[in-house]
Amino acid sequence: MIFLYIYLLLVLLLSLIFKKKGILLNYSGDVHQFFSNRKNIPLTGGLFILIPIVFFLNDLLINFFIFSIYLVGFFSDRKILASPKKRFLIQCLLILLFVAIFDVKINSSRIELFDVILNNKFFAIFFSTFCLLILINGSNFIDGLNGILISSIIIILFMLTRLNLIDNSIISDQSINLIMLILLLLLLLNIFNVLMLGDSGAYLLGFFIGFLIISSHRSNPDISPYFFISLIWYPCFENLFSILRKLNREFSPLKPDSKHLHQLVLFFLTKKFDLKLILSNNLSSGIICFFNFLIIYISTLNPSNTFFQIKLISTSIIFYNVSYMLLFKFYKSNLMSKK
């Protein structure tokens, strides 16, 4: 435990030094960044969570893929890998290899016809790859405001350990608890604009939690697969919704914009209550995290009941769409009033 305290202290000190010295800064002036933050903040959160994850997993080949996913995000943060298409293609290749090598497949959907298709090896690999890609990029999408992604990961990890669903052949419950403590520190530093996760941290956490959830699904066949979907419904649906929304506007799904749900919540609070950007940023995150926590908590009340989980996911999606529609209407009306 003494090593944990030393590491937490190092993270705190290094974060303050990086911010003071201006190391690994993030602000590029892009529209989607300007929407929620106008300060140069170090993108070091991914690095600080990469080290304990690699240490606790202690599997050379798994760590290779984790480090590779982190590097894709790191090069994106540094504008070395600026092309969204190239990033996505590299992600596809890495995830496809990972799924094939480690047989990271979904056992059952509890839909008889779809399960027959899942029994096909090639389709099973494709489907698991697709799911992980949706989660990884969805995690990056929801990381537009302080604390949303980190809070979501903490909640998911807490619920998995609380229900004893972690596959201990992959990582121990004790290691997960230590990772949660590190994430709590990163959450505080993120809220106070000392650091951000960046693409590197978002890709890393999305990949890590996706791998854990599929492993937990495979080792707990009595638990409904839709319970695990309930845990990650928000980043996944945010990604799918964003893709459809952008295609409808004839806009590339790979390019960032400023019309995600969390950005519209931020816009509403800023305009409606005339709040400072940092306050409305953290308040928006708090509201979204609270509702996401409620959904995930409710899902844990009956994790084995597929019908219960499907109703919960459906209700969550309906609530998301109604909220988005109302917030987007407010957004458009304010833009029109300026003209």
Please compute Rg for the chain using Cα positions: 20
Instruction: Specify which residues 42 forms β-bridges with.
Output: 25
Say if residue 256's pLDDT is above 90: no
| Angle (nearest 5°) at CA 65 between 13 and 47 | 10
Q: What is the pLDDT of residues 196-245, one digit of tens each?
A: 999 999 999 999 999 999 999 999 999 999 999 999 999 999 999 999 89
What's the pTM value of the predicted model, to 2 decimals? 0.93
Say if residue 36's pLDDT is above 80: no
Higher-scoring residue by pLDDT: 183, 21: 183
**What is the signed CA dihedral for 178, 183, 186, 190, rounded to 10 degrees?**
-170
Mean pLDDT for 263-286 is: 90
Say if residue 133's pLDDT is above 90: yes
- Confidence grade of residue 37 (pLDDT, cut at 50, 70, 90): low
* pLDDT given at position 68: 97
Q: What is the pLDDT of residues 148-163, one digit of tens each?
A: 999 999 999 999 999 9
Q: What is the pLDDT of residues 293-326, one digit of tens each?
A: 999 999 999 999 999 999 999 999 999 999 999 9
The Cα–Cα gap between 24 and 325 comes to 37
For residue 25, give the nearest of 38, 42, 47 by alpha carbon: 42
Higher-scoring residue by pLDDT: 311, 275: 311
The Cα–Cα gap between 56 and 174 comes to 10
Say if residue 110's pLDDT is above 50: yes
* pLDDT given at position 296: 97
* pLDDT given at position 274: 83
What percent of the chain lies above the pLDDT cut of 70? 95
Say if residue 29's pLDDT is above 70: no
Q: Where are the alpha helices (DSSP H) in 143-276?
A: 148-162, 173-191, 198-219, 225-248, 261-273
